[in-house]
């Protein structure tokens, strides 16, 4: 469990994310309109501020933040970029290791999405065939992106109460993160690329895992594919995939389950079998722990 500071919010669930940006805003004149945990260590908030002038600093928050201006912001600027002002529809991305200072004047209303670096970089392998250590979220101030703005606006328009609304918001945020990966990622040229498995081996491992999610995937088999000892392989896998083999396999099983529940009418037992769960009870428990609803509820909500 992480020892980072925890987010102060009503009914805070167990999570690895530290919402330092949220906690910083709590110490200003910003007022929290709405907040919700969305599952998958994702959170969302809407804030509004009314002030003559106030400075706010974010110092290496340890998590990524997407900011979308819902109203005002015409006289809000970042100290590092004087003369650039916000407005409704403008977006900002604040990566986990960034530092920034903002001067807020007049009225401002904005939506924040808080997410872990792993949410961003895990997609690098699945969607871009890149290693997590090669990319991070770019530090961008007041940019425009029609699809991301549309998704953020849709999040503001809907309720976040109850499992149905939270699940739909979760799905929308995941779609938003995919757009962020493709349009607002930054290459880490200075990062040492020592260690890890070769790109071709990484692809073979990912393909093998996806092709065998319905069975028992052993560390020994994966190590043989990579041509490494089990001990050495586990270390190299974590470097290239951003998580241990068992965690990657568990995430891919949940991803596959979501896909099958959305796109097919397979009975739940067959979905569990296709994703390699020991039985329907185990599948339901793991799915609910990750997504927040049972597989049956998920299918019902997504289909409407």
Check if the beta carbon of residue 79 is closer than 8 Å to that of residue 103.
yes
- Residue 205 has what pLDDT? 96
pLDDT under 70: residue ranges of the chain = 1-18, 189-193
First to last CA, the chain: 36
> Residue 230: CB partners within 8 Å, gap ≥ 6?
219, 220, 223
- Residue 93 has what pLDDT? 98
In the structure encoding, which two tokens stand for residue 84, read together? 């650039």
- Residue 194 has what pLDDT? 74
Residue 236, φ and ψ in degrees, nearest 5: -70, -35
Which domains can be identified in the chain, with CATH numbers?
A: 20-187 (2.60.120.10), 200-302 (1.10.10.60)
0.95 surpassed by pTM: no
- Residue 6 has what pLDDT? 39
Q: Compute the distance between CA of residue 252 and CA of residue 123 in angstroms, rounded to an integer.
A: 11
Query: How far is CA 264 from its chain centroid?
Result: 25
């Amino acid at each position: 469990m992480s020892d980072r500071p925890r987010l102060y919010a009503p009914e805070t669930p167990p999570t690895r994310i530290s919402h330092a940006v949220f906690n910083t805003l709590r110490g200003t004149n910003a007022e929290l309109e709405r907040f919700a945990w969305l599952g998958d260590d994702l959170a969302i908030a809407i804030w509004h501020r009314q002030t003559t002038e106030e400075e706010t600093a974010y110092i290496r928050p340890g998590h990524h933040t997407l900011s979308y201006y819902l109203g005002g912001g015409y006289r809000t600027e970042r100290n590092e970029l004087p003369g650039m002002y916000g407005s409704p529809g403008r977006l900002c991305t604040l990566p986990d290791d960034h530092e920034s200072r903002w001067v807020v004047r007049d009225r401002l209303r904005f939506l924040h999405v808080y997410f872990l670096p792993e949410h961003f970089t895990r997609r690098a392998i699945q969607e871009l065939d890149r290693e997590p250590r090669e990319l991070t979220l770019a530090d961008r101030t007041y940019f425009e992106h029609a699809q991301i703005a549309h998704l953020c606006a849709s999040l503001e328009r809907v309720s976040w109460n109850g499992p149905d609304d939270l699940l739909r918001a979760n799905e929308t945020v995941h779609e938003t993160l995919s757009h962020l990966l493709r349009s607002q990622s930054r290459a880490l040229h200075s990062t040492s690329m020592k260690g890890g498995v070769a790109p071709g081996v990484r692809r073979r491992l990912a393909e093998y895992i996806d092709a065998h999610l319905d069975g028992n995937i052993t560390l020994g088999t994966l190590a043989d594919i990579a041509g490494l000892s089990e001990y050495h392989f586990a270390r190299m896998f974590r470097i290239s995939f951003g998580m241990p083999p068992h965690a990657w396999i568990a995430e891919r099983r949940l991803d596959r389950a979501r896909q099958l529940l959305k796109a097919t009418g397979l009975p739940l037992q067959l979905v569990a079998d296709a994703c390699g769960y020991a039985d329907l009870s185990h599948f339901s428990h793991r799915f609910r722990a990750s997504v927040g609803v049972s597989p049956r509820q998920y299918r019902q909500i997504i289909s409407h």
